[in-house]
Chains A and B, each alone.
Chain A
Amino acid sequence: MANTYTLIASNTLSSSAASVIFSAIPNTYTDLVLKMSVKTSSTSATGDLYVQINSATSTYSYTRIYGAGGGGYGSDRSAGDFPALYSSNVNGNSSVVTNVFANVEFYIPSYAGNKNKVASQFSAQERNDSLAYIESYAHSTDITAAISSLKIEGNGTNLVSGSSFFLYGIKNS
């Protein structure tokens, strides 16, 4: 039986970049998995990360649970506040996290179907400080078209050198 968890494309940055784009994604898989080891050029300890589908600024929403160590935990929600799938608390480039990258994974089921596109996300930013986070997101959108491109970028910041991005396709037959 064929292996059906297949690398579609990858990109490891040799220099800072404003974004990484996976385009011409074939519609021959069932689900997509986007994994990344990433840090932004934000001068803060943490930075935002966007994953935009098909260059669409449609309605993206999420429900999130997070833990920040100690007594810091919670759940929040956004409905239409961001122009892409949103992930907060990705590592910034401040000195405390010089050589630490965040781990982020998106699972996008039925990406080639005609339903609204949804995603499950798990990310972690352990940094040996009080600003480390662990988060899970449930994302939904009003995008019904098949996903043909994914654009990963910061919120007005760059993705720093050494950040790596991997897009996998999974077939269910």
Chain B
Amino acid sequence: MPATYEPIATTTLSTAASTITFSSIPATYTDLRVVFVGQGTFTQSALLRFNNDTGTNYSTTQLQGDGGAVYSQRQTNNNNISMVQIPNNGGTANNTFGMVFFEIFSYAGSTNKTVLGGDAGDTNGSGNINRIVGLWRNTSAINEITITTGGASTYVAGTTATLYGIKAA
């Protein structure tokens, strides 16, 4: 049986940093999946950009639960795909790394690129759960993915992100 789920690259931060980038992504897979396990210096989004495009070509629709209520929000003409969150490194979250995942469909095709993502950010009595759908209005093949805090916050040392490629055949 052919290998259909393969790690392309993984990055583990040895020191705090605000950005993790996967570049030179081969076009030989069908879909991509990013698994991000980490923590921010405060509760922080993991913002997603492709091919270093900082234009307002992204949109996101979010479903969020905070343990008491459900919300849905939308961002249009934004400069990133956002609205997933990881825990901060204070209080009860001190030893808890949150998980964020993104699945990017037909990333090497010629249509606009769609993303399905989410997080698991429970921290024993607090935290959120988010599920998002994202769109990058660009028909280019994705060859670079940037995950960034987008602000002054950083991801702590030990934060790990892995890029997997999934083949349809």
Instruction: List chain A positions with a Cβ less than 8 A from chain B.
Output: 1-5, 30-31, 59, 61-65, 73-77, 79-80, 107, 109-110, 115-116, 118-121, 136-140, 142, 144, 170-173
Contact = CB atoms under 8 A, between A and B. Distances in A.
Contacts of B96: 115-116, 118, 140
Q: How large is the interface on B (under 10, 10 to 19, 20 to 34, 35 or more residues)?
A: 35 or more
Nearest to B11: A172
B99 A171 contact: no
A172 B64 contact: no
A171 B128 CA distance: 27
B96 to A, nearest CB: 4
B162 interface: yes
A120 B70 contact: no
B83 interface: no
Given A61-B124, A110-B37, A2 B129 contact: no
B7 to A, nearest CB: 5
B68 A75 contact: yes
Contact of A74 (B5, B64, B70): B70
Contacts of B2: 3
Given A109-B37, A140-B122, A170-B5, A63 B99 contact: no
